[in-house]
């Protein structure tokens, strides 16, 4: 087979790596594979993942695929064709701080939203910029497909420092939400052409055109949402926090029935409810530590002790397929359509052109071709987005300038924060908690 690719996973120890590699192997016809390289800064997690991926290759007839595990960026990136990046700077222990510190001040504590997301963003920018620097140095012709969060913030930082980088920033939330709606209400998502706009984890649909019905089904989906709450339909089935998140969709479309929102809007529109429901002692980070992270560790330990029967237990839904489809769309010039994080440049006509926005886009051999909305967005969403994107830009300013004042402005303007006093309290606690990760702010 010709044109076999070398794929480097930056954040090789990520819990999502097995799902992504499985998707790569399931699409060998469109994405022929020569070599997988696992790159991570945590050798223990990287070695664990080596055992899992090695077994996956051997038990799926792909033993000829070369597999290397390394903490050396030169070895990891030199000559690779694609980099899939999914790092978590500070790990889940810092995510726990991101979630619990705001909650102690009765504010939304969440992985990518609110001040938890801003703390995460201040850590992630340095980590991802380092990866992009390695790619520029060792594999400037390769394509970097990024899942690292928080996407809006890291995309803005990379756009500023590396404006010419060959990089795609993507989020799997919209496909997950669409799949959940389709399964719950009896549609086939493959017939859909969704139109959506926003920042990452902060957006709305304007249309879901169903080709088999020849019409926009968004109005009827909203009516269904207002009658029948969604049930988690993918691999997260049984996960109480995802179930609660999808149930909030019905609250949002009852109060604001014009458009379907991204489920993350609950953190901005119903922050009081989120805080009321939160368990300060046990947040989502704890659930993931006790779930996905523990499961991955146990898989590696079983393999290490020679138990290889039925040990590969993972399924992350569409997450792996989505990034593989992006790679094949580039490699084979397929012009598939995705929701991607891109510089606005008029795609949302009445939002600042320098915003990093999430809109539909085609992907082909030359990269990303964003699709522009047919009409301006309404004042309600425009107002929310303008404030949030300004806050995100101020946070990126704070990172590059080492500016405490810009960080305080960003924290105060974040759309989950009611006043400057609590913004300053949380910022000062976050600075202490993140002293090993954030730049010094003065
Ligand atoms: N874009 C999306 O929609 C989407 C969906 C799911 C997950 N994610 C993101 O993917 C990432 C991985 O998630 P996870 O739960 O698997 O995390 P994880 O903690 O299980 O794994 C992350 C890995 O990154 C490594 N890492 C941390 N800093 C690094 C650095 N500077 N260089 C190289 N490796 C580094 C860690 O050692 C760890 O092995 C997170 O950022 C998460 O938010 C994004
Ligand atoms: O709380 P986590 O770590 O389980 O998930 C946080 C991520 O949630 C979204 O990704 C979801 C995806 O949308 C869902 O359908 C399924 O595939 O699980 C994924 C991860 O659990 C979101 O898009 C990511 O940005 C978050 O990091
Ligand atoms: Mn996402």
User: How do residues 401-410 score in pLDDT, each as one tens digit?
Assistant: 999 999 999 9
Nearest ligand to the C-alpha atom of residue 202: 3
For position 313, what pLDDT does the model report?
A: 78
For the CA of 292, the closest atom of ligand 2 is: 4
Q: Write down the H helix ranges in 319-436.
A: 319-331, 379-401, 404-413, 420-433
User: How do residues 258-312 score in pLDDT, each as one tens digit?
Assistant: 999 999 999 999 999 999 999 999 999 999 999 999 999 999 999 999 988 888 8
Residue 201 lies in a domain: no
State the distance from the centre of ligand 1 to the C-alpha of 251, rounded, in angstroms: 31
Average pLDDT for residues 148-164, to the nearest whole number? 97
User: How do residues 389-404 score in pLDDT, each as one tens digit?
Assistant: 999 999 999 999 999 9
For position 370, what pLDDT does the model report?
A: 98
Residue 235 lies in a domain: no
User: Binding site annotation covers 27?
Assistant: no
Nearest residue (by CA) to ligand 2, atom 13, is 173
User: Is 338 a pocket residue for ligand 1 (Cβ < 6 Å)?
Assistant: no
For the chain, give the mean pLDDT.
Answer: 96
Residue 427 lies in a domain: no
Nearest residue (by CA) to ligand 2, atom 11, is 173
**Residue 436 binned pLDDT confidence (cut-offs 50, 70, 90):** very high
User: Is 168 a pocket residue for ligand 1 (Cβ < 6 Å)?
Assistant: no
Nearest residue (by CA) to ligand 2, atom 2, is 288
Residue 10 lies in a domain: yes
User: Is 173 a pocket residue for ligand 1 (Cβ < 6 Å)?
Assistant: yes
User: Is 70 a pocket residue for ligand 1 (Cβ < 6 Å)?
Assistant: no
pLDDT at 78 over 90: yes
Nearest residue (by CA) to ligand 2, atom 25, is 171
DSSP 275-312: HHH--TTS-HHHHHIIIIIHHHHHHHHHHHTT--TT--
For position 312, what pLDDT does the model report?
A: 86
Residue 308 lies in a domain: yes
User: How do residues 372-386 score in pLDDT, each as one tens digit?
Assistant: 999 999 999 999 999
Mutation choice for ligand 2 from 20, 172, 182, CB with most ligand atoms inside 8 A: 172
pLDDT at 317 over 80: no
pLDDT at 368 over 90: yes
Q: Provide, rounded to the nearest whole percent, the portion of the chain with pLDDT above 90.
A: 95
What H or E segment, with its residue span, contains residue 75?
helix 73-77
Ligand 2 cavity residues, CB under 6 Å: 111-112, 149, 171-173, 176, 234, 236, 284, 288, 316-317, 319
User: How do residues 10-20 score in pLDDT, each as one tens digit?
Assistant: 999 999 999 99
Residue 12 lies in a domain: yes
Q: Into how many domains does the chain fold?
A: 1
User: Binding site annotation covers 45?
Assistant: no
Nearest ligand to the C-alpha atom of residue 174: 2
For position 1, what pLDDT does the model report?
A: 54
Nearest residue (by CA) to ligand 1, atom 10, is 86
CATH of the domain at 81: 3.40.50.720
ipTM tops the 0.95 cut: yes
* Per-residue buried b or exposed e for 289-316, using 16+ beta carbons within 10 Å of the residue's own CB: beebbeebeebbebbeeeeeeebbebeb
State the distance from the centre of ligand 3 to the C-alpha of 171, rounded, in angstroms: 4
* Residue range(s) defining the domain that contains residue 63: 5-171+291-320
For position 17, what pLDDT does the model report?
A: 97
For the CA of 147, the closest atom of ligand 1 is: 1
What H or E segment, with its residue span, contains residue 337?
strand 336-343
pLDDT at 26 over 60: yes
For position 237, what pLDDT does the model report?
A: 78
Write down how long the chain is.
Answer: 442
User: Binding site annotation covers 284?
Assistant: yes
Task: Please check whether residue 424 is in contact with residue 408, taking contact to mean a CB–CB distance below 8 angstroms.
Answer: yes
Residue 277 lies in a domain: no
Nearest residue (by CA) to ligand 1, atom 28, is 89
If one counts every other C-beta atom within 10 angstroms of the C-beta of residue 164, the result is: 7
Q: Name the pairing type of β-strands 82-85 and 5-10.
A: parallel
For the CA of 15, the closest atom of ligand 1 is: 16
State the distance from the centre of ligand 1 to the C-alpha of 34, rounded, in angstroms: 24
For the CA of 293, the closest atom of ligand 1 is: 20
User: How do residues 27-60 score in pLDDT, each as one tens digit?
Assistant: 999 999 999 999 999 999 999 999 999 999 999 9
Question: What is the set of active-site residues?
Answer: 172, 264
State the distance from the centre of ligand 2 to the C-alpha of 64, rounded, in angstroms: 32
User: Residue 4 carries which DSSP code?
Assistant: -
Residue 145 lies in a domain: yes
For position 415, what pLDDT does the model report?
A: 97
Euclidean distance between CA atoms 212 and 194, whole angstroms: 14
């Amino acid at each position: 087979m010709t044109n076999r690719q070398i794929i480097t996973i930056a954040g090789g120890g990520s819990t999502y790596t097995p799902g992504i590699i499985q998707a790569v192997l399931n699409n060998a016809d469109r994405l022929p594979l020569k070599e997988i390289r696992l790159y991570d800064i945590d050798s223990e997690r990287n070695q664990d993942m080596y055992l899992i991926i090695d077994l996956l290759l051997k038990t799926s007839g792909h033993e000829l695929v070369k597999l290397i595990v390394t903490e050396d960026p030169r070895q990891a990136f030199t000559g690779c064709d694609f980099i899939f990046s999914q790092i978590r700077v500070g790990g889940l222990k810092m995510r726990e701080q991101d979630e619990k510190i705001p909650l102690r001040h009765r504010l939304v504590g969440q992985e990518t939203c609110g001040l938890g997301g801003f703390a995460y963003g201040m850590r992630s920018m340095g980590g991802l910029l380092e990866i992009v620097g390695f790619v520029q140095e060792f594999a400037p012709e390769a394509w970097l497909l990024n899942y690292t969060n928080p996407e809006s913030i890291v995309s803005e930082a990379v756009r500023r420092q590396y404006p010419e980088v060959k990089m795609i920033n993507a989020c799997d939330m919209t496909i997950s939400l669409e799949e959940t709606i389709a399964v719950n209400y009896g549609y086939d998502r493959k017939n859909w052409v969704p139109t959506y706009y926003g920042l990452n984890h902060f957006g709305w649909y304007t249309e879901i055109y169903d080709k088999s019905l020849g019409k926009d089904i968004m109005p009827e989906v909203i009516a269904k949402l207002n009658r029948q709450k969604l049930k988690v339909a993918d691999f997260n089935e049984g996960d109480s926090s995802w179930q609660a998140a999808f149930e909030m969709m019905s609250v949002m479309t009852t109060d604001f029935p014009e458009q379907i929102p991204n489920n993350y809007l609950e953190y901005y529109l119903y922050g009081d409810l989120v805080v009321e429901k939160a368990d300060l002692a046990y947040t989502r980070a704890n659930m993931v530590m006790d779930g996905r992270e523990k499961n991955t560790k146990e898989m590696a330990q079983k393999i290490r002790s020679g138990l290889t029967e039925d040990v590969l237990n993972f399924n992350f839904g569409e997450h792996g397929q989505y990034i593989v489809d992006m790679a094949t769309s580039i490699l084979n010039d397929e012009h598939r359509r995705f929701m991607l994080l891109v510089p606005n440049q008029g795609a949302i006509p009445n939002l600042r052109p320098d915003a990093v926005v999430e809109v539909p886009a085609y992907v082909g051999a030359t990269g990303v071709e964003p699709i522009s909305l047919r009409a301006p967005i309404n004042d309600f969403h425009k107002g929310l987005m303008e404030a949030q994107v300004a806050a995100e830009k101020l946070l990126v300013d704070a990172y590059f300038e080492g500016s405490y004042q810009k960080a305080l402005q960003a924290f105060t303007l974040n759309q989950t924060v009611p006043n400057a006093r609590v913004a300053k309290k949380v910022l000062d606690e976050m600075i202490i908690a993140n002293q090993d990760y954030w730049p010094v702010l003065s």
